[in-house]
Amino acid sequence: MWNIKYMNIKLIAMFSLIGLAYFVVIIIAMHRLRPDYNPRSRYISEYAVGKFGHLAVSSFVSYGLAILGIYRCLQTVSQVKTKPNIGLTLIAVWGAAVLITGFFKVDLKDKQMSWHGTAHSIAFGIGVTASVIGLIALSLDFDLNESTQSISFITQMIAIVASILAVLLFLGLLGDMALKYNHSVPRILLSLHNLTGLTERYLLGISVVWLIIIVKWITK
């Protein structure tokens, strides 16, 4: 029975890996297809607005489904390799939040908030927060279980870096919101506002790396 279940887990994990690969390829392609967006300051989700927007949206949906697939694999494997904890739930919240951001387009950086942009921003904030706290919780749990100690250190390191990047990203978002409504912005927030795109891409990059590491661990 477990062999059949393990084969299903491996299949889900491989589909999740394909979904991650699709997401990465499309996002890289969008940098070439939309050179009018400065990657240092513009959010990745802004690629969903305008030309090739449907392609970008498909990559966000693929990314969310990949996260949920990996969550499902971890949830099943946890019965044998590690006990479930709040970290798993937060990974599921992360995946669901990414899916929601794919269905609600973000407002462009120089535009005021709309209802769909507000929904996107709320889901985005929840997703980033859930991913960081989930990584921290899982890293602590992995460290307590002998079978998962091989991935506990890298999870801890990624959780630390992700936490720093998330703080910088949210500070940049505060600067963004202030500028949208013509409020004065402290110099530090203005600097971070101009680097939100770069910060988001670094955060996304290490998150994808961690997900790939988890897929490899699940399928080994």
So where are the chain's domains? 2-219
1 pLDDT band (50/70/90 cuts)? Answer: very low
Interval 77-122: pLDDT, tens: 765 444 557 899 999 999 999 999 999 988 887 777 888 889 999 9
In this prediction, residue 141 carries a pLDDT of 85
Determine if the pTM surpasses 0.85. Answer: yes
CA atoms within 13 A on the CB side of 82: 26
Mean per-residue pLDDT, 64-88? 79
Two tokens at 213?
């590491």
Question: Does the pLDDT value for residue 146 go beyond 90?
Answer: no
Indicate the SS3 state at residue 164. Answer: helix
Q: Which is higher by pLDDT, 202 or 219?
A: 202
* Mean pLDDT value across residues 129-158: 89
Does pLDDT of 7 surpass 70? no
Q: What is the pLDDT of residue 3?
A: 52
Residue 20 or residue 117, greater confidence:
20
For the chain, what is the mean pLDDT? 88
pLDDT of residue 84: 53
Is the predicted pLDDT of residue 23 greater than 50, yes or no?
Answer: yes
d(CA 50, CA 108): 10
Q: Are 8 and 18 in contact (CB under 8 A)?
A: no
The tokens describing 165, both together, are 């990047």
In the chain the first and final C-alpha atoms are separated, in Å, by 19
Least confident stretch, 11-20, 83-92, 182-191, 194-203: 182-191
Please state the φ and ψ torsions of residue 187, each to the nearest 5 degrees: -60, -40
Give the closest residue to 135 by CA, choosing from 147, 120, 151, 122: 151
